[in-house]
Structure 1
């Protein structure tokens, strides 16, 4: 997941294609919620005059969260509850640390969208996964650049 834990294992009982797809969507929801929480930390360490990029990334994840909640609701599935908080993978004490955390968040959501893509039974779900995987990688490029990481792109995001 976005907080550094490994996602991707289907929930027990998710043995049908639709069940596996729903389990993967739940995983993407959890990763998205972790990213929303994490961007609060990123924003706190990011220079105030440049926080628009942080706000835009957080808003993008909020929009995805809302899309996933609506999708699960339409399937008659209760979304897994949100975590109350998350463990940071490292201390965030500077803007470079904040950018590195944002990379971690985007790579976590990329992993979850790759899992959705792998488990997708419906065309619309595959399209959503590709769209969100692409968006996460584009945001990650911005953050890798800010963190001074090279290469700034990933040939196979989420893997």
Structure 2
């Protein structure tokens, strides 16, 4: 395995871990929202499950063993109501955008295009949940003051 393939595999594994967390997180979101927001949460949940499954195949194609989802994930804040659920959904999408930005950088040409599309989709969903955009989707440390910096996949069991 070359260094480039190794870097790409690590970035795909990080995206897979983020998708596992997003699937879990959207289970929480879907349980707290109603109406059109519930339909949006269901669509995001289904989309993230499909993306997770595609990333599993990609990891195998790159010669790796896909990391399994954790049994549970620590939420970044309490989610007692619909407003907090919407904030959680936006946070999930911001974190996904960050890992897809890493995959854009590490991936080959085809993977880079797929990762850029996933980054764009995550940024759009974050805007929908938040109601406003951020200056640099996928770059949390530049998007909001005081936001955590570094890779959102640093802790396997944290969203």
When the two structures are superposed, what TM-score results if normalisation uses the length of structure 2? 0.83
Residue 42 of structure 1 pairs with residue 29 of structure 2: yes
Q: CA offset at residue 15 of structure 1? A: 7.3
Number of aligned residue pairs: give it: 139
Farther-moved stretch of structure 1 (27-36 vs 60-69): 60-69
Instruction: Report the counterpart of residue 130 of structure 2 in structure 1.
Output: 144
Structure 1 residue runs without a partner (length 5+): 1-13, 146-151
- In 2: Cα distance, 1:68 partner to 1:124 partner: 14
Is the 2:5–2:62 Cα contact (8 Å) retained in structure 1? Answer: no
Q: Deviations over 1:63-106 (max 9, x none)?
A: 11111111112222111121111001111111110000001100
- In 1: Cα distance, 2:102 partner to 2:86 partner: 24
Structure 2 residue runs without a partner (length 5+): 140-159
CA RMSD of aligned residues (A): 1.5
Match of 2:19 among 32, 44, 56: 32
**1:51 alignment partner, SS class:** helix
Residue 156 of structure 1 pairs with residue 136 of structure 2: yes
Is the 2:19–2:52 Cα contact (8 Å) retained in structure 1? Answer: yes
- In 1: Cα distance, 2:27 partner to 2:5 partner: 34
**2:70 alignment partner, SS class:** coil
Match of 1:124 among 96, 110, 115: 110
Q: Deviations over 1:82-133 (max 9, x none)?
A: 111100111111111000000110011111101111212x111100110000
Farther-moved stretch of structure 1 (111-120 vs 70-79): 70-79
Q: CA offset at residue 51 of structure 1? A: 1.1
Matching of residues 1-159 of structure 1 within 5 Å: 16-47=3-34, 50-120=37-107, 122-145=108-131, 152-159=132-139
**Stretches of 4+ aligned residues off by more than 2 angstroms:** none
- In 2: Cα distance, 1:155 partner to 1:125 partner: 24
**1:105 alignment partner, SS class:** helix
